[in-house]
Amino acid sequence: WRAPASKQSERSARGRPASAAAPSTMQNRYTRLGETCYGKLDKISAELFTLTYGALVADLVRNYKDVDEVNGKLEQMGYNIGLRLIDEFLAKSGVPRCGSFRESAEIISRVGFKMFLNVTPEVGNWNEQGTSCTFALEDNPLEDFVELPSSAKGLKYCNLLCGVLRGALESVHLAVESEIVSDALMGDARTEIRLTLKHIIEDQTNEDYHDE
């Protein structure tokens, strides 16, 4: 178990082999951390949150005729939120450096999602290399009270979440792709987001920098 590194190095989670702790202990640790963090935060009615999001999506659908444009806009907005959310997440949770992408995924679910949305999506469907998994939301606060009309075919209602994941992880140097692969509003059993690690973003030094 590594002691929490300074904020600078916390921002880069390198893909190293998993730490010595067994998966279930790690999971329990993060579950407890998530619950503690959520407990300390101010709360607000989930319905206000859900309905405000609904009002936003409805407005987008009215203004952008093309469903793909709406999806793109939602993802972009999520991305902007992710960039801001990561600072708050790191500051309030104090999670240490991750040993692997598997660990990152557990932290996202048990601490990240828990802290903000008070849900813990199930992490699963890992690929062989351990670089891609799905987050299954049994009970998605964004989708309460929502029913999509047939004219909204192709609308990815929760695309904001995909953007949030992309923005937040990019800030800790993980370039990811996230997309909705299963949507409860479209008739599937539950909403699932697939998160795939593309590569680790190396620290970029300015091209003009010369070692004097």
Which residue, 147 or 202, is less far from other proteins as judged by CB?
Answer: 147
Q: Does 115 bind other proteins (CB under 8 A)?
A: yes
Q: Confirm or reject binding of residue 66 to other proteins (CB under 8 A).
A: no
- Residue at token pair 């009309």: 149
| 157 interacts with other proteins by CB under 8 A | no
Identity of the residue, 12 or 50, whose beta carbon is nearer to other proteins in the bound complex: 50
Interface of this chain with other proteins, residues 8 to 47, rule: CB under 8 A: 38, 41-47
Q: Which is nearer to other proteins, 107 or 197 (CB)?
A: 107
- CA-to-CA dists, residue 67 to 159, 164, 188, 205, angstroms: 12, 20, 19, 39
Selection from 178, 177, 168, 179 nearest residue 199 by Cα? 177
User: Does residue 91 belong to the site contacting other proteins (CB under 8 A)?
Assistant: no
Helix (H) or strand (E) holding 120: none
For residue 132, the SS3 value is strand
Angle at 73 between CA 67 and CA 78, to 5 degrees: 130
Q: Using CB under 8 A as the criterion, which residues of the chain lie in contact with other proteins when the complex forms?
A: 38, 41-49, 51-56, 58-60, 63, 77, 80-81, 84-85, 88, 115-118, 138-139, 141, 144-145, 147, 184, 189-190
